[in-house]
A and B are shown apart, each in its own frame.
Chain A
Amino acid sequence: MNLLPTPSQTAGPYFHLGLTAKHSISNIAGPKAKGERLRLLFRVLDGNNQPVPDAMIEIWQANAEGKYKHPDDPQEKSEDLEFFGFGRMETDQNGICIFETIKPGCVPATDGLAVQAPHLNLSIFGRGILKRLATRVYFAGDLANDVDPVLALVPNERRYALFAQPGTQGDSDWVFDVHLCGKDETVFFDV
C-alpha cells in the first residue's frame, strides 16, 4: 500500500500560542550534560538582509558521543540522561534566538562507513514558508568538515553558508546566520 503524504502548509504567524519564553525550549542540554558547552545564536534574515521577527527554529542534535536520543539510533554508545537533544524557539524582533547546548559528537554516515562532522539539524518554519526549511549547522574550522559526506554534496564555494562562526563572547559562543534568500542564501536540503 502506497499512501500519498499529507501536504505541508505554512506554520503562519501565530505558532507562538503557548510557545512563550517559559514554554519554548532553549536548553538542548542540561547543565550537567557531557560535552563542550555552546551558546549558539541564530539570526534569521530575509532577502533584503532584514531580520525576520516571527520565524520558528527547531534543533535536533546528537549528544557529545554522537548518539541521538531516539529509540531508532542503533549505536552502542552511552546515553546521557542530562542531554535532551531537541530545542525550539521563536526569533525575537531582531530575528534572533539563542540556544544553550553542547557540541555534538561525530555520527556515522548512512553507509555506516564514513563519519559525519559535528553538526546540528536545523528546521525553520514561519509565515510565508510553505514547507519546513531543513539545513545543517557545522562548525567553522572543525577538521572533520573536510571528510563529511553531506558537506561534500555542497559545492565548495557554497559551503560557508553551512558553517557557524565563532562569536564575540568567548570560546563557547557561536553565531549562525540563516539567509532565507538572496546571494548568501543558506543551503537548504531536500529531505
Chain B
Amino acid sequence: MFGDQPMTDTDSDLTRQHTGEPLGERIIVSGRVLDDRGRAVSNSLIEIWQANAAGRYSHHVDQHPAPIDPNFTGCGRALTDASGNYKFVTIRPGAYPWLNHFNGWRPAHIHFSLFGRALATRLITQMYFPGDPLFAYDPVFQSIPDESARQRLIANFDLETTKPELALGYRFDIVLRGRESTPFETA
C-alpha cells in the first residue's frame, strides 16, 4: 500500500528495503495475472502486505508478543509485465494469533491487492501456503464456502523458480474478472 510516489527496484523485493537483511526464510513469489478468458492482464499494479517471519505485523495495532524485525516492513508492490507476469522476493510470513476466538491462529498468508484494468476487476485477497495445518480452523479461509475456490488461494511450491542457495519459489496465479467490464459499468 503506497501513494503516488514512483516505483523503485526495492518495491518488489521486501528483503532489500532496509540496511540489513530480514530474518526468516527467503521466498520468491511469482505468477501470472489473467482475466477469466485466459488473457494476460498486463501493466497492472499489485500490492502486497504481510507479517514478518515471527508472525508479527509492523503495525501499531499488532501488539502480540512476537519480535518486530527492524529490517522488515512487510509491504511491496510490482507491475505485471506484457504477459501478465509478476514477481516478489520476500520472507515467508509466520502464523499469528488473533483475538477473534479462543486460540485462534491465522494460517501464514500474504495479502494481495490488484487493480486490473477496470473498477469491476478490483480485488483484495490473501495467498496461502500449501499444506498449512491451520486451514481447517481459520474462519477467514473458511469464509469461502466452495472447496475448489479455497484451493485457488493456495500457492504451489515451484522448483523451477526456486533459486539454489537463496530462496524457495512459490507460484500464485490470479484470475480477475473479464476485461469487458469497462470503467463505466457499475450496477
Contact = CB atoms under 8 A, between A and B. Distances in A.
Given A4-B175, A7-B152, A24 B3 contact: yes
Contacts of B177: 5
B153 interface: yes
B136 to A, nearest CB: 17
B14 to A, nearest CB: 11
Contact of B37 (A2, A13, A15): A2
Nearest to A75: B184
B166 interface: no
Interface in B61-87: 61-62, 73-75
B20 to A, nearest CB: 19
A125 B49 CA distance: 15
A16 interface: yes
Given A132-B122, A191-B120, A1 B37 contact: yes
Given A7-B125, A9-B125, A70-B183, A15 B4 contact: no
Contact of A15 (B5, B111, B174, B175): B111
A58 B119 CA distance: 11
A19 B1 contact: yes
Contact of A14 (B37, B61, B149): B61
A3 B111 contact: no
Interface residues of B, number: 50
B37 A12 contact: no
Contacts of A72: 117-118, 182-183
Given A15-B49, A70-B183, A4 B152 contact: yes
B152 A60 contact: no
B66 to A, nearest CB: 14
B185 interface: yes
A113 interface: no
A121 interface: yes
A130 B150 CA distance: 13
Q: Place the interface of chain A in its size category.
A: 35 or more
Interface string A13-57: 111111100111100000000000000000000000000001000
B184 A108 contact: yes
Interface in B108-149: 111, 113, 117-120, 122-126, 140, 143-144, 146, 148-149
Contacts of B58: 17
A58 B49 CA distance: 17
A144 B61 CA distance: 44
B38 interface: yes
B124 A23 contact: no
B175 A3 contact: yes
A168 interface: no
B74 A17 contact: yes
A68 B144 contact: no
A-B complex: 10 closest residue pairs judged by Cβ atoms: A23-B3, A1-B38, A9-B126, A19-B1, A18-B75, A3-B175, A9-B125, A17-B75, A17-B49, A14-B57
